[in-house]
Structure 1
């Protein structure tokens, strides 16, 4: 009994480290926005993610067929668009609110097609949280909110495409190939950003740190986690990421939230948690 408990404890510790690393990395990357902008930071993050995934998975790209390549190409495009939308939203409305809106993507996938009354209640609760977050007020940035919702749509698409890629490409080769596609697409973007806004050493360091903390560390930690923790537990813990993002934004970026914003975040997190814990 001791060994399974120790493995479960290691998995929980890895989940905590993954979530904190991911959101802290996003907050550190935001420090480079004044120099590189969200586009430049996302470009660096895509490069780091591609290097890590290619080194771990070592995909046999030449052996891919067109039936395997087309969902990989779509996944790469969605991957880059998702991160760009999220970072652009974080630049305008803050990290906590941006990540909360992004989490509507996986929640929608979890609730889609369900006929349970509980899931209908979760949808209403999440909707109420979104209404609170997007309520009309003088300081509301609707462009930033729209970017957060775009990130949610991309994440939902990312989940669906990952299922297709997972069925057609063995292991993590599909994810690695998609990250390489995304990184290649961001090469001219990175060059253009560097030419228009010469990067400083500090900005590059922040962007690289974001890539490591938000891509490399979570990916490797999740590999360890899923070996020792049930997928349902993993999904449940993932649902607290909006809270971690809000805390990271407050601690690193000084982005404070009011009572209404915390209530909206709590509603979305509670909807995620309730849906995941009661699924078979």
Structure 2
């Protein structure tokens, strides 16, 4: 492959990941409106279950049987997706969306640190950490945060790191088929939990339509785009691109939920975005 083609592929992968992040954060902001109606578990069931159905219908992954090793990786990948969705939604229900994602992004940052081999990448990670430090309300306001919500976000961070690791392993397969199998695995334990908590309310037509939109914006579209980007980007670059998620989630929270930020928080977001841009430079 020529240098121009490599650069073009990397650019397309970066744009796919950016679109994925925009979609997933707007979907999260919309999902927060449903929490009081069908609970966090019900919304998670919509997101995972409907996405699984859509992906299976579109990509029909059963046409390409999985090997034992691929099946194990897909099972872990899907389980991580389901648990990550449930934990971050639980966090959203207790603490602001932007703060929750700022904590969650520690997962991809950790992957970036562990896989880094260049001083510039380490400097970018440090810059992102500084941004996260000022983004979090730890300057006299930390007592206002629900500690359980913080723990949920921390758990989602661990899942996000595992998602990157196992997503990279299954990305060698056809991207759409990988995600379809993964979403099916996630739905096998998430949907029953949602049905147990929300009951017949999940069948309300209006809620189902909103759930469909959430599933497309938060799972079906972004996970497919991320799988495409994983085939080109390294785990380190993917992780640092993902580190810009707090900026996008803060914007989504402001536009959809009316969550406004302070000047310090905007500067922190700029620091995180700069770190993501720095690591993508060659």
TM-score (norm 1): 0.79
Map 1:204-223; keep pairs closer than 5 Å: 204-219=208-223
Counterpart-to-counterpart distance in 2, 1:262 and 1:126: 13
1:181 to 178, 182, 185: 185
1:103 to 95, 102, 105: 105
Verify the 8 A CA contact 1:18 1:222 in the aligned structure 2.
Answer: yes
Give the alignment's TM-score, normalised by structure 2: 0.79
CA distance in 2, matches of 1:87, 1:165: 25
1:90 corresponds to 2:92: yes
| Counterpart in the other structure of 1:190 | 194
- Residues 186 and 63 (structure 1), Cα distance of their counterparts in 2 relative to 1, 3 Å cut: same
Distance apart, 1:180 and its partner CA: 0.4
Deviation at 1:153, TM superposition (A): 1.4
Q: CA deviation at 1:238?
A: 5.2
User: CA contact under 8 A between 1:89 and 1:148: conserved in structure 2?
Assistant: yes
Aligned match of 1:119: 121
Match for residue 276 of structure 1 among 262, 277, 280: 280
Is the 2:244–2:272 Cα contact (8 Å) retained in structure 1?
Answer: no
Secondary structure class of the residue paired with 1:64: coil
Matched, 1:249 2:253: yes
Deviation per CA, 1:70-123: give whole Å up to 9, x if none: 222111110101111222222222222222332232232223142433233223
Q: Which residue of 2 aligns with 1:158?
A: 163
What SS is found at the alignment partner of 1:63?
Answer: coil
* CA spacing shift, 1:259–1:201, aligned 2, 3 Å: farther
Q: Residues 32 and 204 of structure 1 are in contact (CA less than 8 Å); yes or no, is this contact kept in structure 2?
A: no
| Partner of residue 151, structure 2 | 146
State the Cα deviation string for residues 160-197 of structure 1 (Å, max 9, x = none): 11222335x55543332121011121231122122286
Distance 2:150 2:61 in 1: 37
Distance in 2 between residues matched to 1:111 and 1:85, nearest whole Å: 23
C-alpha change, 1:21 and 1:65, in structure 2 (3 Å) is closer
CA RMSD of aligned residues (A): 3.5
Give the secondary-structure state (helix, strand or coil) at the position aligned to 1:186: helix
Q: How far is 1:256 from its partner?
A: 2.0
Q: What residue in structure 1 maps to residue 131 of structure 2?
A: 129
Q: CA–CA distance in 2 between the matches of 1:174 and 1:216?
A: 12
Is the contact between residue 89 and residue 145 of structure 1 (CA under 8 Å) also seen in structure 2? yes
Aligned CA distance change for structure 1 residues 63 and 116 (closer, same or farther; 3 Å) = closer
Contact 1:48 1:215 in 2 (8 A): no
Structure 1, unmatched stretches of 5+, are none
Q: How many residue pairs were aligned?
A: 271
How many angstroms does 1:201 deviate by? 4.5
**What is the CA–CA distance in structure 1 between the aligned matches of 2:13 and 2:274, rounded to whole Å?**
22
Change (3 A) 1:124 1:202: same
